[in-house]
Amino acid sequence: MDRFYKINIAVLLVLSVITVGMLVQHEIEVQGSVNPKFTKKAILKRKYEKQMARNAWLYGKVISLQKAGQSVQAIEELRKIMANNPSDAYASVLLGRLYYQQGRLADAIHSYRKAVQKDPDYVDKKTPLYIGDEIMELISNARGKLNREKRLKPNDTKIQTAINDIYYLQRRIAGGCE
Amino acid sequence: MNRPVVKKLLDISIITGILLGSGCVLLTLLGNPVNSGICLSCFLENLAGAMQLHDHVRMSYLRPELIGFVLGSFVMAIVTKRFRVTGGSSPVIRFFLGFFIIVGCAVFIGCPIKMIQRLGAGDLTAVAALLGLMVGVWLGARYIRAGVHLDREKELPKINGYVFPVFALLLLIFLLVRPSFIIFGQTGPAARHAPIFWSLAISFVIGCSAQRSGLCITGGFRNMFLVKEPTLLMGVIAAFGSALLLSMVTGQFHLGLNGQPASHTEHAWTFIAMLLVGFASVIIDGCPFRQVIKAGQGDVDAAITCLGMLSGAALAIGWSIRSTSAGTTFSGRIAVLLGLIVCVVVVLYYRRPIIKRPDRQTH
B358 in any annotated domain: no
- How far off is chain B from A59, nearest CA to CA, in Å? 25
Same domain? For A24 and A95 the reply is: no
The whole-angstrom separation of Cα A145 and Cα A105 is: 9
Domain coverage including residue B15: 3-349
Domain coverage including residue A112: 39-174
Between residues B277 and B358, the one the model is more confident about: B277
- CA distance to A103, B42, B52, B279, per residue, from B136 (Å): 48, 21, 33, 4
Chain A's closest residue to B110, CA to CA, is: A177
**Amino acid at the residue A34:** V
Residue B3 has pLDDT above 70, yes or no: no
The whole-angstrom separation of Cα B344 and Cα B338 is: 10
Angle between helices B91-108 and B267-283 (to 10 degrees): 160
Same domain? For A76 and A134 the reply is: yes
**Amino acid at the residue A89:** A
CB contact under 8 A, B36 and A172: no
Q: How many domains does chain B have?
A: 1
B175 in any annotated domain: yes
**Per CB distance under 8 Å, which residues of B are interface residues toward A?**
33-36, 39, 42, 45, 58-59, 109-110, 173, 177-180, 184, 186-189, 191-192, 258-265, 324-326
The whole-angstrom separation of Cα B79 and Cα A107 is: 62
Same domain? For A16 and A82 the reply is: no
Same domain? For A98 and A132 the reply is: yes
Print pLDDT tens along chain A (178 aa). 789 889 989 998 999 899 888 888 888 887 777 777 777 788 888 999 999 999 999 999 999 999 999 999 999 999 999 999 888 999 999 999 999 999 999 999 999 999 999 999 999 988 999 999 999 999 999 988 998 988 998 888 889 999 999 999 999 998 888 8
CB contact under 8 A, B109 and A167: no
Q: Give the pLDDT band of residue B259 (cuts 50, 70, 90).
A: confident
B320 in any annotated domain: yes
B328 in any annotated domain: yes
Same domain? For A22 and A60 the reply is: no
pLDDT confidence of residue B5: 60
Whether A86 has its CB under 8 Å from any CB of chain B: the answer is no
Same domain? For A24 and A53 the reply is: no
Whether A9 has its CB under 8 Å from any CB of chain B: the answer is no
What rounded mean pLDDT belongs to chain B? 93
Write phi, then psi, for B302 (nearest 5 degrees).
-65, -35
Find residues 91-150 of chain A whose CB sits inside 8 Å of chain B: 117, 120-121, 124, 126-127
Same domain? For A104 and A150 the reply is: yes
| CATH number, domain containing residue A98 | 1.25.40.10
B356 in any annotated domain: no
**Model confidence over B120-179: pLDDT tens digits?**
999 999 999 999 999 999 999 999 999 999 999 999 999 999 999 999 999 999 999 888
CB contact under 8 A, B262 and A24: no
Same domain? For A87 and A113 the reply is: yes
Residue B9 has pLDDT above 70, yes or no: no
Lowest mean pLDDT among A23-37, B88-102, B203-217: A23-37
**Model confidence over B12-57: pLDDT tens digits?**
999 999 999 999 999 999 999 999 999 999 999 999 999 999 999 9
Residues of A within 8 A of B187 (CB-CB) are 44, 121, 124, 126-127
pLDDT confidence of residue A94: 95
B284 in any annotated domain: yes
B60 in any annotated domain: yes
Tell me whether residue B126 is exposed, middle or buried, using C-beta atoms within 10 angstroms of its C-beta: 0 to 12, 13 to 18, 19 or more: buried
**Model confidence over B305-356: pLDDT tens digits?**
999 999 999 999 999 999 999 999 999 999 999 999 999 999 999 988 777 6
Same domain? For A2 and A60 the reply is: no
B100 in any annotated domain: yes
pLDDT confidence of residue B8: 61
**Model confidence over A92-119: pLDDT tens digits?**
999 999 999 999 999 999 999 999 999 9
Of B39, B258, B264, nearest to A170 by CB-CB distance is B258
Asked casually if ipTM beats, i.e. exceeds, 0.90, the reply is no
Of A20, A26, A178, nearest to B173 by CB-CB distance is A20
Q: How many domains does chain A have?
A: 2
pLDDT confidence of residue A23: 82
Same domain? For A48 and A118 the reply is: yes
Same domain? For A60 and A110 the reply is: yes
